[in-house]
Amino acid sequence: MATIHDESHDVDVLNALIETTLDSINGYEEAAKDASDTRFESIFRERAAERREVALRLQEEVRRLGGDPEDEGSVLAAAHRQFLGIRNAFGKGDQAVVDEVERGEDVIKERFEKALRDDRISAPTREVVAKFYESVRRGHDQARAMKHSGVAAQP
């Protein structure tokens, strides 16, 4: 049985991904500020810029579908960033920042994967999500590798 396509559902899915992507941008910007090692600061700033591009493209797609794109992150993410700042202030160092970045990457990766599994979104919207999922997957894999390499724990 064919699924009847509902553009409002596509807009809702895309807006949820935009919110998560905006959270990711903010998280990377905070991580860049909190990192004491310039290697991590540079990586986090680059990833924030890449995520900014993803958010812009997703917002364009929402507009194309006739919706109003999300332009703010979630309240929960703001609270998490505050926690990250407090945690880092107690001297946990770059490893704590990398650990939190990797945790955030788990969240965004799962949300994009959930959207890709959604059988109610249209094929064109699924293609858009899949295109940007590749960027999310690369960011996740990079953060996981940084966490598990222990390079942030080194003096």
Q: What is the total count of domains within the chain?
A: 1
Quote the pTM value: 0.83
What HEC string does the chain produce?
CCCCCCHHHHHHHHHHHHHHHHHHHHHHHHHHHHCCCHHHHHHHHHHHHHHHHHHHHHHHHHHHCCCCCCCCCCHHHHHHHHHHHHHHHHHHCHHHHHHHHHHHHHHHHHHHHHHHHCCCCCHHHHHHHHHHHHHHHHHHHHHHHHHHHCHHHCC
Query: Which residues fall within 8 angstroms of residue 88, CB to CB, at 6 or more apart?
Result: 34, 96, 97
Please report whether residue 56 resides in a domain. yes
**Residue with tokens 């890709």, as numbered in its chain:** 116
Asked if 35 contacts 41 with a C-beta cutoff of 8 angstroms, the reply is yes
The whole domain housing 128 covers 7-150
Per the prediction, the chain carries an average pLDDT of 83
Say what the pLDDT of residue 1 is.
35
Please report whether residue 1 resides in a domain. no
pLDDT, average across residues 27-33: 87
Please report whether residue 2 resides in a domain. no
* 49-57: long-range pairs with CB below 8 Å, 24+: 50/135, 50/139, 51/21, 51/24, 51/25, 51/135, 51/139, 52/25, 54/21, 54/132, 54/135, 54/136, 55/18, 55/21, 55/22, 55/25, 57/128, 57/132
First to last CA, the chain: 59
Enter the tokens of residue 83.
Answer: 């926690």
Please report whether residue 96 resides in a domain. yes
Please report whether residue 114 resides in a domain. yes
| Domain CATH code at residue 128 | 1.20.1260.10
Say what the pLDDT of residue 90 is.
43
pLDDT per residue over 71-130, tens digit each? 876 555 555 555 455 455 445 678 878 888 888 889 899 999 999 999 999 999 999 999
Please report whether residue 78 resides in a domain. yes
Please report whether residue 155 resides in a domain. no
Say what the pLDDT of residue 26 is.
87
